Structure 1
Amino acid sequence: MYQQNDYIVIKALEDGVNVIGLTRGADTRFHHSEKLDKGEVLIAQFTEHTSAIKVRGKAVIQTSHGEITSEAKK
């Protein structure tokens, strides 16, 4: 059974930042997406269904491993 409690915090630095949850398993698929506007914050958790989170657009991403700023969409 999956028992990890890793959370990440994503703060949009521009309008239209996309946050996409990807499934785990043999076939990786998109299973959820959110669109954030500038200043909005999303707190996300890795679960037994979510193995990866893709951030598209300029945002600050905070994890237990540190902080990173993604680049703006082109």
Structure 2
Amino acid sequence: MSDSPVMGDYFVIQAKENGVQVIGLTRGSETKFHHAEKLDKNELMIAQFTEHTSAMKIRGNATLYTKHGTISTVSGEL
């Protein structure tokens, strides 16, 4: 294993409305919020998991593009 802090593949978050929140959660014995971004309609964020980020929480209408497929936060569009 290399010394790189990068732990996973890249994925893209596309906001479908203003005010979409992307919140990074920490690794370790106690999960905490450590970073937050707010995206406006049609803005993209390219993200990945690192040694510090183990999960992300997305609030609002957005589409995620991953190597596994496309995921939408709008119900019925999976």
Per the TM superposition, whether the score is higher than 0.5 is yes
Q: Which runs of 5+ in 1 are unaligned?
A: none
> How many corresponding residue pairs?
72
Q: Determine the C-alpha separation between the residues in 1 that align with 2:50 and 2:67.
A: 16
Q: Determine the C-alpha separation between the residues in 2 that align with 1:71 and 1:29.
A: 26
| 1:1-74 alignment runs, 5 A limit | 4-71=7-74
Instruction: Return the structure number with greater strand share.
Output: 1
Q: Determine the C-alpha separation between the residues in 2 that align with 1:64 and 1:22.
A: 21
Report which of the two structures shows the higher radius of gyration computed on alpha carbons: 2
> With structure 1 as the length reference, what TM-score do the two structures score?
0.88
More deviation, 59-68/26-35: 59-68
Q: Which runs of 5+ in 2 are unaligned?
A: none
Q: Determine the C-alpha separation between the residues in 2 that align with 1:68 and 1:19.
A: 15
List, as ranges, runs of 4+ consecutive aligned residues in structure 1 with deviation greater than 6 Å. none
Q: Determine the C-alpha separation between the residues in 2 that align with 1:3 and 1:49.
A: 9
